[in-house]
Amino acid sequence: MLQLSPSEFLSSDIVNGLDFVVNLITAIGLLAGIPWALTNRKNNKLAAEISKYLHYYVRFAFLILLIIPCYFLTYFLQQIIFYYIFNGDNINNNFMPYPLWILSIFISISLGLSFVWILGSFTLTSTWDYAIHFLNYFLPPQSRLNKKLQQLEIISATYGHNDIEINVTDILQALIVDNKVEIIVSNRIFTDPAANQVKTLKVKYKNGNGEFNMEFPENTILKLPHNE
């Protein structure tokens, strides 16, 4: 395996290329953000859009960081499986069991991808539901974890006054915990698209096999799923 010192790694073409891409994206973001802010300043859409995309950007950045420990974890597992479990030895006595070597790599990659999926699904959804559902595939029926995938899904959600509304579907979906959401409808959560006006949150959601439409005035309590 290729080994690089910290100084060699920082000066490598990969790091230089990533540095160029980050600088390019930053420059484009600044140049595009200024006219966008001026165009949409009256409806305060910029703050809402930045909050939404930054929210997922941070999550994806954390998910990408998981690849680094996953690489070392996979390599470490492969060494353990091949050398200690399968008693492999590709140095002494010219003994090179290729089938066991390939099998050890396959097992370690499978375990590494499972690790990324379990933590990655939690990172992107803020719930362990999907990870539990995945683990249940490998457990006998009597030992399965008693938790199902989320049945509550926000189809669409808007927040505003009359025609001045912003899309808050992703924000509301991210607030679902244990198949329910309970919040106070306010500008602190969704920003203020219409200053000095009483806003309304309009929600279309799916729970089980049914779809429902609800409206919640500003400063009222939202509870989903509602008692249909």
pTM comes to 0.43
The answer, yes or no, to whether residue 200 has pLDDT greater than 90, is yes
Q: Number of C-alpha atoms within 13 angstroms, CB side, residue 45?
A: 15
- 199-222 in b/e form (b: 16+ CB < 10 A) is bbbebebebeeeeeebebebeeeb
What pLDDT shows up at residue 159? 93
Q: Is the pLDDT of residue 94 over 50?
A: no
Tell me, what's the pLDDT at 50? 64
pLDDT-derived band at 6 (thresholds 50, 70, 90) equals: low
Q: What is the pLDDT of residue 11?
A: 67
Q: Give the model's pLDDT for residue 91.
A: 45
Place of tokens 């073409």: 13
Average pLDDT across the chain, whole number: 76
| % of the chain exceeding 70 in pLDDT | 73
Mean pLDDT of 122-139: 77
Single out the residue of 213, 159, 167, 165 nearest to residue 187, CA to CA: 159
Q: What is the 3-state secondary structure (H, E, C) of the chain?
A: CCCCCHHHHHCCHHHHHHHHHHHHHHHHHHHHHHHHHHHHHHHCHHHHHHHHHHHHHHHHHHHHHCHHHHHHHHHHHHHHHHHHHCCCCCCHHHCCCHHHHHHHHHHHHHHHHHHHHHHHHHHHHCCCHHHHHHHHCCCCHHHCCCCCCCCEEEEEEEEEECCEEEECHHHHHHCCECCEEEEECCHHHHCCCCCCCCCEEEEEEEECCEEEEEEEECCCEEEECCCC
Give the model confidence (pLDDT) of 101-112 as tens digits: 777 778 877 877
Report the C-alpha gap between 75 and 145 in whole angstroms: 30
Contact partners, residue 93, CB within 8 Å, separation at least 6: none
Q: What is the pLDDT of residue 1?
A: 44
> Which two tokens mark 217?
């005035």
55-76 average pLDDT score:
76
How much is the pLDDT for 145?
73
Most confident of 6-20, 140-154, 194-208: 194-208
Question: Which residue, among 202, 135, 132, 125, has the nearest Cα to 165 in the 3D structure?
Answer: 202
Q: Is the pLDDT of residue 129 over 50?
A: yes
* Minimum mean pLDDT range among 33-42, 54-63, 148-157: 33-42
Q: What pLDDT is stored for residue 40 in this prediction?
A: 56
> Which has more pLDDT, 145 or 222?
222
